[in-house]
């Protein structure tokens, strides 16, 4: 059985179980009413920087049985659209099983998605979401997907493949687009650019989102995952989106000359 070991434990988040649980407990809060979600956008930086924004999303999320996590491939290794389709992912909190049945459905519905484990081994954008999910549901299953090819034809194919696969899937499943927003811009410029892009996301207009990112040269690393998620959410009947939180690294470091933006967005059922 394939078993992916953590690549950024001790770097992006604590490598010790007790310390990790303690940190997660500071980010994930009890809320009176959980929200059933089709999907969400969650940041993937080190927990000290983006954990608060991520935690707000995971706090309000109705606890899923399965999470499809889509992230950018920062390293460029492996196949451009890669799914980790079987086995387990290890974290300091234990092993998480891949939902191989759902993985196979998505592969069968896509022209571009391929099984490729190499693309996933060094990638942090999916890994950092897994402890949050384990904190919510220790028996959670995941479907990890990385993308580096951002042509609209490919993104549309993947969005439809995921959406179609979930139409008749009986488990409570959420789609997670793992993305940070502007990188290394002055605070005011980053915020201005990010909210310009976020407006298109909230309108569920993936083409306008792409247009605005290109127009303003916005360094959002998860453009592809966000586009895929919007397309899948609309196929599943999603009609609205909500910005839950926006912060930057400058809120933590107090350095506002070069910040990274973090947005938490939900697509309710």
What are the tens digits of pLDDT across the range 145-181?
Answer: 999 978 999 999 999 999 999 999 999 999 999 999 9
Q: What is the pLDDT at residue 93?
A: 98
What phi-psi label fits residue 157: left (phi over 0), alpha (psi between -120 and 50 degrees) or beta? alpha
Half-sphere exposure (Cβ direction) of 182: Cα atoms closer than 13 Å:
30
In this structure, what CATH number is given to the domain that contains residue 231?
A: 3.40.830.10
Phi and psi torsions of 58, nearest 5°: -70, -25
Domain with 159 in it: 3-268
Summarised one tens digit per residue, pLDDT across range 114-151 is 999 998 989 999 999 999 999 999 999 999 999 997 89
Q: Which residues of the chain have pLDDT under 70?
A: none
User: Which residue's entry shows tokens 């997670």?
Assistant: 176
Torsion sign, CA atoms 203, 207, 208, 211:
positive
User: Which residue's entry shows tokens 């298109």?
Assistant: 200
Interatomic CA distance for residues 69 and 51, integer angstroms: 17
Number of folded domains in the chain?
1
Q: What is the pLDDT at residue 2?
A: 92
Interatomic CA distance for residues 64 and 37, integer angstroms: 9
Q: Which long-range contacts (CB under 8 A, 24 or more apart) does 250-255 make?
A: 250/187, 252/48, 252/49, 253/49
């Amino acid at each position: 059985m394939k078993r992916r070991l953590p690549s950024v434990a001790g770097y992006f988040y604590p490598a010790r179980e007790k310390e990790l649980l303690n940190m997660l407990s500071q980010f994930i809060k009890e809320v009176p009413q959980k929200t059933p979600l089709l999907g969400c956008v969650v940041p993937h930086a080190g927990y000290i920087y983006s954990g608060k924004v991520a935690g707000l999303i995971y706090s309000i999320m109705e606890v899923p049985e399965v999470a499809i996590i889509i992230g950018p491939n920062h390293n460029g290794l492996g196949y451009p659209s890669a799914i980790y389709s079987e086995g387990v992912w290890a974290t300091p909190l234990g092993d998480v099983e891949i939902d191989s049945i759902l993985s196979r459905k998505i592969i069968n519905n896509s022209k571009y998605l391929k099984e490729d484990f190499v693309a996933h081994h060094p990638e942090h954008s999916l890994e950092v979401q897994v402890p949050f999910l384990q904190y919510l549901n220790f028996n959670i299953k995941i479907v990890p997907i990385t993308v580096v090819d951002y042509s609209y034809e490919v993104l549309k194919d993947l969005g439809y493949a995921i959406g179609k696969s979930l139409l008749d899937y009986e488990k409570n499943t959420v789609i997670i687009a793992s993305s940070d927003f502007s990188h290394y811009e002055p605070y005011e410029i980053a915020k201005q650019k990010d909210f310009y892009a976020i407006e298109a996301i909230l309108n569920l207009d993936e083409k306008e989102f792409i247009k605005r990112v290109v127009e303003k040269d916005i360094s959002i690393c998860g453009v592809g995952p966000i586009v895929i998620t919007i397309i899948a959410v609309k196929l599943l009947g999603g009609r609205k989106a909500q910005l839950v939180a926006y912060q930057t690294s400058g809120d933590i470091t107090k350095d506002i000359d070069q910040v990274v933006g973090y947005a938490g967005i939900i697509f309710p059922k």
